[in-house]
Amino acid sequence: MRFYVGLIVGIFALTLLVAPRLGGGILWNLLNGVGFVALILMLALFGDTGRGGRLALHRALGWSALGLILLHAVGIFLAHPTSLEYLEPSGPLYMGAGLLSALLLWLVLWSASPKRRPIWGGFRPFLRAHWLLSSIAVLGALYHIVASGLYLDNAWEAWAFCALALGIVALPRLGARIQSLRGVRAQHIVGLLTAGLCVFVLLKQFS
């Protein structure tokens, strides 16, 4: 449980330290908060890797992250139709990075199916490719968040945010195993994420 609490608190806290009220209205903050929740789930997969009978949860978290990314994007496009201009070839690079991140996450999830694992030529090559593609997806998401400049108000916040995320991405390569996952169920994770999202939106809106 400590892993999830630390991850959720760390990600959301770094968006609140310097300019807690920086945002663009309750719907805007909610939809972008959903985007942060998607990133948290992506990062959680590097710590909660499916070992110890948690593979079904690992897959569910991955698909949930992709669903939240779609909710984040579609919600913003519907609420602010002018933002569709950002998808044009002349749009900002960070929007392309966000799109690339979502496509890579889909590819990771699609290729992780037991029916498709043989395309990697073995279990170890699959693990390496799985980690590499997932890492690039996280890098795309980080660039999307940091370069947009919406919630990380200065350089040290952005660097701390990236350091936290990349440290978690490196866990599988370092052979680190999270010991506090036993007993953590989907409902616990949903509860923690919901609480974090509510605090984020309320502080942005009413602090």
Provide the phi-psi class of 95: left if phi over 0, else alpha when psi is between -120 and 50, else beta.
Answer: alpha
Predicted confidence at residue 116, as pLDDT, reads: 77
Report the alpha-carbon distance of residue 70 to residue 137 in Å, rounded.
15
Residue type at 13 in one-letter notation:
A
Handedness of CA 74, 78, 79, 81 (dihedral sign): positive
Q: Which residues of the chain have pLDDT under 50?
A: none
DSSP class of residue 40 equals H
Q: What is the pLDDT of residue 18?
A: 64
Instruction: Write down the pLDDT at residue 207.
Output: 59
Tokens 């170890």 sit on residue: 124
Q: What is the pTM of this model?
A: 0.93
What CA–CA distance (Å, rounded) separates 73 from 53? 33
Do residues 111 and 119 lie in contact, with contact meaning Cβ atoms separated by under 8 Å?
Answer: yes
Calpha distance 120→157 (Å, rounded): 38
